[in-house]
């Protein structure tokens, strides 16, 4: 069974700070996705990374896929209270197979 | 934006009872999924469904579980005899094509199942 380990599990910061959350595995994934989940809601896809070393930017969010396609990171610049939520990474070992989720990082940004 | 709809939002049942969780996927989507999330734990894959048959299932999806697409719009998950450990948030998801690199998966808001 593949595991996606996310760290940190909890992160509490002040508005304006930068942060990075990590998603690591000993297995290679064909793709990794990052989701954000609000309480009482389902996960909402933020980005998909496919190529080793790929970097994608979504406004203040920067996503990177490791060269070996075993890990990924999410960096948020100048965090805002609206960024508060649960950030999940999920990977597929092969195209067309089920997603495996990490346990998530709970981010709290206070003003 | 189109969305996946799940009903009910909350379901309380007695241990041993059967429950049916309902989902209406996005209308032009062809692939359907059920995931669950036990409180404080990670989202876990249960089953994927395409062309009226199961295409993949996890170890969690044992004989007590079944899925069905009874008509052109609904996609259901049935648990025949619920156990306490079935208590979880159940998410339905759908995608336009077979999930592959870059394919977007749309999740519903979930059904919180509580087994007493």
B-chain residues near A33 (CB < 8 A): 105
State the Cα–Cα distance between residues B1 and A53, nearest whole angstrom: 31
Name the residue in chain A with its Cα closest to that of B32: A98
- Taking a contact as any Cβ pair under 8 Å apart, which residues of chain A between 16 and 45 contact chain B? 30-31, 33, 40-45
B-chain residues near A88 (CB < 8 A): 42-43
pLDDT at A58: 94
> Count of alpha carbons within 13 Å of B46, Cβ hemisphere only?
25
pLDDT at A95: 67
Comparing CA positions, the residue from A16, A34, A39, A27 lying closest to residue A73 is: A34
Give the model confidence (pLDDT) of A11-70 as tens digits. 999 999 999 999 999 999 988 999 999 988 899 999 999 899 999 999 999 999 999 999
């Amino acid at each position: 069974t593949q595991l996606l380990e996310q760290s940190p599990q909890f992160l509490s910061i002040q508005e304006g700070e930068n942060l990075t959350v990590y998603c690591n595995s000993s297995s290679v994934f064909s793709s990794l996705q990052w989701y954000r989940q609000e309480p009482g809601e389902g996960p909402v896809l933020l980005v998909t990374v496919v190529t080793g070393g790929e970097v994608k930017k979504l406004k203040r969010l920067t996503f990177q896929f490791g060269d070996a396609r075993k890990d990924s990171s999410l960096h948020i610049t100048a965090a805002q209270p609206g960024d508060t939520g649960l950030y999940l990474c999920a990977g597929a070992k092969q195209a067309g197979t089920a997603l495996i989720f990490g346990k998530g990082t709970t981010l709290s940004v206070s003003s | 934006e189109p969305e996946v709809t799940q009903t009910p939002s909350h379901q309380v049942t007695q241990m041993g009872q059967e429950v049916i969780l309902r989902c209406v996927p996005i209308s032009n989507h062809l692939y359907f999924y059920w995931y669950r999330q036990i409180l404080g734990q990670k989202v876990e894959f249960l089953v994927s469904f395409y062309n009226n048959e199961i295409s993949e299932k996890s170890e969690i999806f044992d004989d007590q579980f079944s899925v069905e697409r009874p008509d052109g719009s609904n996609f259901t998950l049935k648990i025949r005899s619920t156990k306490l450990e079935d208590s979880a948030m159940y998410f339905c998801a759908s995608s336009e094509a077979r999930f592959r690199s870059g394919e977007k998966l749309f999740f519903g808001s979930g059904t919180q199942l509580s087994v007493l």
